[in-house]
Homo-oligomer: A and B are copies of this chain.
Amino acid sequence: MNSPRNDGDPVKEIAGVMRLKEGEEAVRRVLTQIFRAGKIGTKDLAKAARLPIPVTAAIRRELEKAGLVARRGGAILTEKGSEYVTQTLGVTLGSQETETEIDQDLEVLENLRKYSLKRPPASPELDQAHATPETALKRVQYMQRRGDLDGRRLLFLGDDDLTSVAAGFLGTPREIGVIDVDERLLELIGEASKTEGLGIECVHHDLRDPLPESMLGRFDVFFTDPPYTVNGVKLFLSRGLQALRPRKVSNIYVAYADKPPLEMLELHRAITDMGMYISELTPGFNTYEGAEIFANTTSQMRLTVTARSKPTITGTYSSHIYTGEAQPRMRVYRCKCGADVLVGPKQRFSSINELKTIGCPHCGARAGFTLKKRVNL
Which residues does chain B contribute within 8 Å of A282, judged by CB atoms?
A: 280, 282
CA of A268 to CA of B281, assembled, Å = 13
A280 CA / B285 CA spacing, docked (Å): 11
- CB 8 Å contact bits of A308-319 with B (1 = contact, 0 = none): 100000000000
What 1/0 flags go to A291-332 for Cβ under 8 Å of B?
011111100000010111000000000000000000000000
CB of B50 within 8 A of CB of A284, answer yes
Interchain CA distance A307-B261 in the complex, whole Å: 8
With A268-B278, A374-B54 as contacts: A295 and B43 at CB distance below 8 Å: yes
Q: A53-B293, A278-B278, A278-B281 are in contact. Are A272 and B262 (CB under 8 A)?
A: no
> Which residues from 234 to 276 on chain A have a C-beta closer than 8 Å to any C-beta of chain B?
248-249, 258, 260-262, 264-265, 267-269, 271-272, 275-276
Whether, in the assembled complex, A368 has its beta carbon less than 8 Å from a beta carbon of chain B, the answer is no
Is A261 a contact of B21 with CB atoms below 8 Å? Answer: yes
Can you tell how many copies of this chain the complex includes?
A: 2
| Distance to closest chain B CB from A147 (angstroms) | 13
Residue of A50, A248, A280, A295 contacting most chain B CB atoms (<10 Å): A295
10 nearest CB pairs, A to B: A21-B260, A268-B277, A46-B295, A281-B281, A261-B306, A53-B292, A269-B272, A272-B272, A47-B295, A249-B261
State which of B264, B281, B296 has its C-beta within 8 Å of the C-beta of A43. Answer: B296
Query: Does A56 sit within 8 A of B, measured CB to CB?
Result: yes
Q: In the assembly, what is the distance between CA of A43 and CA of B307, in Å?
A: 42
Subset of 26 A-B contacts with CB under 8 Å: A21-B262, A22-B260, A43-B292, A47-B296, A47-B297, A50-B258, A50-B283, A51-B258, A53-B295, A54-B374, A56-B295, A261-B304, A262-B307, A264-B279, A264-B304, A264-B306, A265-B272, A265-B276, A265-B306, A268-B271, A268-B277, A269-B277, A278-B278, A278-B281, A279-B283, A280-B283
A262–B306 touching, CB < 8 Å: yes
Closest residue of chain B to A283 (Cβ to Cβ) is B280
Beta-carbon nearest neighbor of A21 in chain B: B260
Q: A52 at interface (Cβ–Cβ under 8 A)?
A: yes
Whether A284 lies near B47 (C-beta < 8 A) is yes
Chain B residues with CB under 8 A of A292: 43, 52-54
CB-CB nearest in chain B for A250:
B261
Render A178-215 as a binary contact track against B, CB cut-off 8 A, 1 for contact.
Answer: 00000000000000000000000000000000000000
A308 near B52 with CB under 8 A, answer no
Q: What residue of chain B has the Cβ atom nearest to residue A305's Cβ?
A: B261
Q: B50 and A295: CB pair below 8 A?
A: yes
Do the beta carbons of B295 and A52 come within 8 Å of each other?
Answer: yes
How far apart are the CA atoms of A306 and B267 in the complex, in Å?
Answer: 13
If A262-B307, A278-B278 are given as contacts, then 9 extra A-B residue pairs at C-beta distance below 8 Å, sorted by A number, are: A22-B260, A46-B295, A50-B258, A52-B292, A53-B295, A54-B374, A261-B304, A262-B306, A268-B278
On whether the beta carbons of B277 and A280 are closer than 8 Å, the reply is no
For the complex formed, measure the closest distance between the CB of A23 and the CB atoms of chain B, giving whole angstroms. Answer: 9
